[in-house]
Every structure is written in structure tokens, then in C-alpha cells.
A and B are shown apart, each in its own frame.
Chain A
Amino acid sequence: MWKWKALKEREDGSLRPSAFRRGVVSSRAASLQLSNAKEFISLHRGAINSLEGDAAEGRYLLSAASDGTVAVFDTDTRHGHGHGHGHGHPLFHLSRAHKFAVSRALWYPVDTGLFITASFDHYVKLWDTNSTQVVLDYKLPAKVYGIAMSSIATSHTLIATATADVQVRLCDLASGAFSHTLSGHRDGVMSVEWSSSTEFVLITGGCDGAIRFWDIRRPGTFLLLDQSLSQLGTRPPLLPSPSNNESTSLPTSSKSSSSTPILPAQKRTSHKKIQLKPPTQWSHPGMASSQNRATAHYGAVNGLRATADGFYLLSSGSDSRLRLWDIESGRNTLVNYEAMSIQASKPIQLAVTPDSSLVFVPCMASLKAYDLWSGTTINSYRGHYESVNCCFFNAQDQELYTGSNDRQILVWAPSIPAATQIEEADSEGGITSIDQDNWSD
């Protein structure tokens, strides 16, 4: 009954509205469970590989499956469908979007007029949502594992592609051609992510276990994450303005080494944005070969997710580890996420709540929620019958959508219902009346 107390405090003015909102949202996010009222009727006849909600309205869910189909769902069941068990039928279902499995589908970050799909048939296609027709397509040299578009980009419209090829290609929507080819990985690239603080920084994770940072304005890798370089403790998620500017030149020369024990509570005081000033001579393009071989995971890096504030990067690997990286220092924060097993063969999609408190990780047939900063398991969501491939956290409704090899898209809704839903539940008492005890003896 914290809610009533908090309400009272908010009325008094002792609790700020934003803090109140945060409290409600985080408590809802922490209490997710399988929703009985809302469901998406998946017409896919294959594993769901990707789920993506749109950034513009936070309402439409794009799903892609390995049978080459793509569908769009309306997550808001309140409009048009009336109450009760959500209809959940797709708004449209493209049965022959690609020849082979669609590995990833993305909304155009600006609006829902376009979406992009990537497939194992080597193609990346740009679709018009309203006519459901292909506007543009790119033929890549190998299977496409993942694509990414920067949600904060204002000066470019580039799609970064992760393919089985060693090179990362950037497709320019403006010209319809490849604008960049980034070489550096020694094996196929499984995952790709744009920095959420700078529009020119691209992060890629490869099958060789390396996570590389690229500045698309310059050639070569400017940062390569190394799992053996670590720092204890993390910065607070929300920080005051940077106090001092320290040189960012070398991760190796950074003084916050693991040798000096720092308590987790003791926050580092030095903060800075990623500075894209000209890197030092050795760091690129021909990095010292010893540096150039650093790995972030033992095995393929199959999932990458940057936190919304752009300071941290989460990576998952086929070694069944989840690592939290401090982007600025390029070091492993050594947060120990409790036991998990991550499927090795496919790229997976991680989800982080906007306030960077929870991370959702597909762990085989279940999905686990971890506290981002401590690594403790908050919850384990069981419901799928086969490996979960992707999850998407709908920040607006605090709902979680998961897609799995068993062809289902599940909705995990907060068990703390909104006020309107309580009334609805009362009104539909007629239906629930069947579900009662029935003791004959």
C-alpha cells in the first residue's frame, strides 16, 4: 500500500511528481507476469526472431519470424476493440517478406511510415508501412544477422548491418547505396548497436568475441573492449554534470585500474562524454596487434544493448555471460549477473528499462530480469516452451513482449493493475465466475 502513502506525499508536495511517476513505473516493471487478458495471435510459422516497438508512438509492435514473415501488432487494445480478451490479431502480416528467415525488423526511428527488415537471404529491405511494399533493398554478401539505425541521428540515415561477412556495411537510405565498409572483425558480425549518446559511434560485436567501436567519420576501430581490463564499481546511473575533463586518450593508462580496490558504493568522480577528438596515433587504423586481439567474450557476442543514457553497454555472449561495460573507460565493470544460459547460435535481443534499472535477458526457454547494477535476479519469466530469442520492453505501458522459437509472442503485463482495469475486472465478473472451486466431496 505504498501507493496511497506516496499519493499522500505527492499531494503534500514532499514527493516530486516525477519521482512519484518513477516509483510507479519501476514497481510496475518489477511485477510483470504473464498476461491473461492481452495476447498477440501470432500467425508466424517459425521462430520469432525480432520484436521491436516504434519509438514515435510506442504503440506498434513489429515482429519478424524465421519463416520469412513480418507482422505488425497494435499493442494498445483499448482503442477500437472494446474490452476483454484483447483481439491481438496483427494489423498486417506479410507472408512473403523474405525468402529465408527474417533475422531482424526495425522501425524507422523517426516515424512508423517505414520499417526495415534484414534476412538470411542476404537482403535488407526498406518497406513502406502503409502500402506494405518494398521501397529499397540492399543485397549484402552474406546472411544478415542484425541491423541498427541510430535513434538520435540528425545528420545521417544509415543502417548498420551485421552479417556473416567480416565487414560491417552501412546502407545509406538517402542514396540507396552502401556508404561505408568497416573492416576489423576477424569473423562474422552478430550484433550491432548505435551509441545512444553520439550519432556517429557504432558498436559491433562479432563471432570472434570482439566488441568494436567505430567512428563513422573516420576509418578504423577506435575502441576495442577487453574483458581482462576491468574496474570495480560503477558510476551512478544519473549523474550530475561532469566536473572535470580528464584525458581520454588511453584506456590502458587510466588510473582507475582494478589494482586499487574501490567499493561499489564509492562512485568514481571522473565522468566525461565519449570524446571523439582525433585518437592517438597507434589506436588506428593499425592498432598494435596485441591490442587488436582483445576479446570481450569467450565466443560470439550475440547481443548488444546500450543503456538509454549512453554511458553503459550491455553485451551477451555465447559463453553465457552478460557483461556491463563502461563505454567511456572501455572497461568491464565486473557486475556478476547470476547464473544464466544464453543460446549460442543466434543473435538475441536484450531489453533495458529506460531508467536503466532492469535488464531482461533471454535465457533459453525463460526470460530473466536482472538488476542492472547489482546483477541479482529480480524475476524469471517462464511461459515459453522453446528458446526465447528476443524481448522488447514497452516503456509506455511497462509491458514486456517476448518472442520465441515456439512461435508465440507473449505479453507480460504488470500484476499491479491500473485503476481503470480494476473497474473492467468488476464488469466482467460474469466470465470469471466459471473459474471457481468445485468440490464435489
Chain B
Amino acid sequence: MAGEESGLETESGMVAWRLIEPATNSTEPDVDPRLLKAIKSAVRSSDVETRAAVRCLMDLMKKPHSQVRYLSLLIIDELFMRSKLFRTIFVETFDQFLALSVGFRKNMPLPPPSTIASNLRKKSIEFLEKWHSNFGIHYRQLRLGFEYLKNVLKYQFPNNLENAARLQRERRERELKTQEILLGKFENLKENFSSIKGEINSTIDEINECLDIINVNQKELNPPIDFSLGDDEMEGFSSLEMRQIRIDSMKEAETVHETVDNEAVFDTLRELHKLLVLKHLVSVQEWISVLIRVELADNRFRDTALKEMIDLRNNIQSAKDKLVAIGCSFDKGKKVQLEEEEDIWEEGKIENIPQKSVQRKGKTVVSSSTSSNGISDSHNKTQNSKLDPERSKLLAEAPLVNWGPLLDNWGSNSDTVANQRGLEIEGHWGRVDHDRIIPQEKIAELSVHRMVYKEDPVEIKPCLAPLKNGTLCQRRDLKVCPFHGPIIPRNSKGNPIENCNEPMVNRSEDYVDGETLEKLAKQAVNNVRKRERDEREIKRAKLARVTEHNQEVLRESAMASTSYSEDLVQSRGEFKTKKPTLASMLKKKVTAKDRIAKKLL
């Protein structure tokens, strides 16, 4: 009976052996799914098979090839997660398994190839963690192995479960926090909504009134030319460009220019424009973004407010366009920047995108035309300043500040939101705190004004002492010429001018005669040359040593890494086997270094 059983065992155990052996004898990174399925069903079929599978897998884990171990590990994981009997038998030799799969023992490192070995280690640590979290309480050995690797050897476990949970939690917390802040802002808006709206509307009204005043004046001065008629006349003979120029000039004529009469109006307009763009537009956009992002139970107020806000923004835009059209801009650099911001802004999802984009196109045309206006405008200003003596005096006194980013926040004393530009950039590499605020002091600190010191060019006078060949010394030194002493004013022939007689006397005392001077100079030159030569020699010797060493190392490595027998095997293997085998993975690849070394031999 017993003999029969054992015979049966060996016979049926063979199924697992027969399946597992070929399954691990492959160079693929995964086990053949069909084989795996067959193994699973075989192991499931009987306890004997399970025992045989454990034995077989442990044997395979001992093979000195990481690929075999890796594939065995994958099969082990499949069976470990499924069969209780497999687990029970398998954990008995768990320390051995860990030594073979993680390779934590110094005297038992993982076998080559090294890339797969590192994969094997990573995977087995991952599996260990998984097994521990699933079955740890039932198997002391699992716990022991896990704790040993974690606490004693300080292995880094991927900690998948916990990491995911932590990320989730963090994200939720962040969202909650932003929502809270948004809600706060929203409440604030709710309270102040009417006042904000009123303020903006009043500004726009004022602008419109101002524009009315200007336009009325304009119409009184020169009534509009009849365009259509002119156009018809032209159509016949003029080219398209000519026509364009003509229209432009007509428009130019139509536009209102600032004069002494309406200067006050323009000033007001400029002020209002500034207020509109810098304050209202920005705040409106901010409110819109708040409204879009806030999550509320009751959306009624939000929807109406959003609609009104968008209307307000459109109003502001149109008012701004009008202002720009009459060439009233408060700051050119500022304006360009703002426009850029708007471009980004408009890519957000707001209902009236098509309409906006059309507007934008129109605007760019306008802005290009206004840029020329701006110049003329500034020209006007300079003219104006001539009229105002006090202003020009102040201007002359005022320090010149270079244009730079510090001007963006000139005179503002409010905190700046760091990460809230109304656009969501997904490409951040870290966590983004949407409500980070840069305090005003910090900004002041960041935008501390600095300038590069520019030295006034100093004219260095030539020495002008007479030389042997009759010319004058053209050396330019600050105080003392090394050949002719202190630099003193001289006449056209090189003689010192009278009032400098005394120092000349001193000089003749200092530099006794030409001969000693020449000697000294020669000596100095010799000294310098000699030092240079020495240095060069030392350097050359060092270089020689280094090259010698390098050659020696190369030769040695060449001796060690290539041998003719291996070369032979490789060359034979190349035309014989096309399919990669396990043995071929262990073979060393010929690197460029080896080839060079061989040549050197």
C-alpha cells in the first residue's frame, strides 16, 4: 500500500515537474500563460502535486541563474496566493527562499545576469509585502521574514497599500482646504457683490461719459468724411494696398488726438483705464475663477453671479477696447503683459469662447496700430513736459530706474497669490498648494532694486616720454609708467612741463641710470621665463605618468576580459543559435573597451 502510494506520488508528482521545468526554461520576462494555467490546474488537482510543486520550485530557486529564479518566483506567487497547502509547506523553508530570492546573505549573492537579479530582488520584496499583508497573521515565518528584512536589514519596501492610501488622503485634505478657502471667498463675494458691481459699473459709466465728451468735441471740430463714396472712387484704379493705406490714414484722421483742450478728460480717462485694468479686471477674473471652482449645495446664486460677472468682464473688455482705440494707454509694458495673461486666461472653459476669440483677433490688430500711437503719445508727453517747468525740473532730478519685473508691483502693498492664475497646469512635479500666498514683505524683498554699477569711462593719458627712436611712449598707465616713471604732463616733444620739475628730479634720483635699469629688466624677464619652463616640464612629466598608467590598466583589463577561447565560443555561437537561451544571457557582451584592449594586445 505504502509502496504503491509512493509510486503514485512520484508518478503524478511528475506532472508538476514536467510543467514547471519548461515554464522556467525561457528567456521571456513572463511565464507562458498556458503553461501557468496548466501548472495551476495540476497543483489544484491533488495534494501530492502540490508537494511536488513546492519541492520542484525550491530546487529551481537554487539554480545559479536569475532568470530561472525569477520565473520560479512568479509561479510561486501564483500558487502561494491560491493554495493553502502550498503556503503551509512553502513557509517551512521560507528563510531559504528569501536568501535565494532577495539575496540578503553576503555569502549567497544573486546569480547573474545582474539586471534580472535586481528585478528578482525587487519583485520578491514586493511579493513578500503582499503575502505578509494577506497571510501574515497565519504564518509566523512570513512575519519573521518580513520583520527581519524590514527592521534588521532595513530594506525599503514599496509599501504600495499605504502609499496609495496616503496619497488619497493628502489629495482629499488639500481639496477640502481649497474648498474651505473658496467658500470663504465666495461668502465674501456674496456680501459685497452689489457694491463691487456698482463700483465697476460706475467706473465704466464714467469712461463712457468721458468718451462721449471727447467724441462730441471731435464731431464738432471735423465732421466725418463720407467713406463709402471715397471707396467707390478708388476701387477702379487703385491697388489693394493703396486702398488699405488710404483707409488707415482716414481712420487716423478720424481718431481723436489729445489736445490742450481735452487734456483733463484724457487724464481722467487714463486714470480710469488704469483702475479698470489693474483692479477691476483682475478682481473680476479672480471672482470668476472662484465661482467656477467653488462647490455648493445651492447653485442658484452662483450661476447668476457667474453670469453677471461674465457680463461685467465683457463690459470692461469693451470699455478697454474703446479706450485703446482712442489711444489712451497708461503703460505700454504693462499692457502687453496683461494681454498675454488674457490670452492664457481665455483658454479656460467659459461659455462664450468663439465670441471672445473673434474679439481677440480684432484687438491684436488694434494693439499693433496703437503701438505706433503710443510712441507719438510719449512724444506728445515730452512736448507737454516742456510746457511744465516744474515737472521737467523734477524729472531731471529723479533717478533713472531700469525697466524690470520689479515695476510690476511698484507701489502695491497687497499680498500676492502664488499659484492662482486661473489656469491648472497638470505638469507640476510636486504637490501644488493652490492657496499659497506670498506676503507683501516677501515680494518687496524679492524685488529689491539692484543695478549694475557702470563706471564712467576714464581717459587714461599716454606716458608720452621720449623714446630712442624719436617717437613718444604710448603706454597708458594710471599713475606710473614702468619704464618712464610717474606720468606727468609733457609737451609735444616729450619734455616735462615746467611746473613739474621737482618730481622729475626725484625721479632721476630713483632710477639711477639706464644701464642698471636695463639689467634689472633683463633679469626679470629671465626669471619669468625660467619659472614658466619649469612649470611646463613638471606638467609634461605628470602627463607622461598618467598615460603610462592608463596604458597599463588597459592592457591588464584586456588580458583579464578576453581570451581566445571565449572569442571562439562566441564566434561559433553567433551563426549557430538564433534563439536566445538561458546560457546566452550569462555570456558577457563584448564592449568597445574589450575590443580596444584586444587591438592593443
Contact = CB atoms under 8 A, between A and B. Distances in A.
Interface of A: 34-36, 39, 85, 365, 382-386, 406-408, 410, 431-432, 434-441
Interface in B27-61: 37, 40-41, 44
16 contacts: A36-B140, A383-B95, A383-B144, A384-B95, A385-B144, A385-B145, A385-B148, A406-B148, A408-B148, A432-B138, A435-B87, A435-B138, A436-B84, A438-B81, A440-B82, A441-B41
Interface in B92-149: 92-93, 95-96, 98, 104, 134-135, 137-141, 144-145, 147-148
Is the contact region of chain B dominated by helix, strand, or loop, or is it mixed?
Answer: helix
Contacts of A438: 81-82
A406 B151 CA distance: 9
B454 to A, nearest CB: 65
A439 B93 contact: no
A379 to B, nearest CB: 12
B83 A437 contact: yes
A385 B140 CA distance: 13
Contact of A35 (B104, B140, B147, B151): B140
Given A34-B140, A385-B144, A441 B40 contact: yes
Contact of A406 (B37, B81, B85, B152): B152
Contact of B141 (A383, A434, A439): A383
Interface in B142-186: 144-145, 147-148, 151-152
A213 to B, nearest CB: 39
Interface residues of B, number: 29
Nearest to B84: A437
Nearest to A435: B138
B92 A382 contact: yes
Given A39-B140, A385-B144, A385-B145, A407 B84 contact: no
Contacts of A410: 140, 144
A406 B152 CA distance: 7
Contacts of B44: 439
Contacts of A434: 134-135, 138
Nearest to A33: B92
Contacts of A85: 137
Contact of B135 (A35, A383, A406, A435): A435
Contacts of B82: 437-440
A382 B144 contact: no
A408 to B, nearest CB: 6
B83 A365 contact: no
Given A85-B137, A385-B95, A407 B83 contact: no
Contacts of B134: 434
A436 B40 CA distance: 16
Given A34-B141, A438-B81, A439-B44, 19 more contacts: A35-B140, A365-B95, A383-B141, A384-B144, A385-B95, A385-B98, A385-B104, A385-B144, A385-B148, A386-B152, A406-B148, A406-B152, A410-B140, A432-B138, A434-B135, A437-B82, A437-B85, A441-B37, A441-B40
Contact of A382 (B87, B93, B139): B93
A36 B96 CA distance: 19
Given A382-B92, A441-B37, A407 B140 contact: no
Contacts of A435: 84, 87, 135, 138
A440 to B, nearest CB: 7
Nearest to B44: A439
A264 B141 CA distance: 40
A408 B144 contact: yes
Contacts of B84: 435-437
Contacts of A439: 40, 44, 82-83
Contacts of B83: 437, 439
A-B CB proximity, top 4 nearest: A435-B138, A385-B148, A36-B140, A34-B140
B95 A382 contact: yes
Nearest to B143: A39
A7 to B, nearest CB: 28
Contacts of A432: 138
A436 B37 CA distance: 20
Contacts of B104: 385
Contact of A36 (B40, B87, B139, B147): B139
A44 B151 CA distance: 11
A441 B83 CA distance: 12
Contacts of A407: 151-152
Contacts of B92: 382
Nearest to A39: B140
Nearest to A41: B147
Contacts of A431: 137
A383 B92 CA distance: 8
B490 to A, nearest CB: 86
A441 to B, nearest CB: 6
Contact of B138 (A36, A365, A383, A406): A36
A194 to B, nearest CB: 35
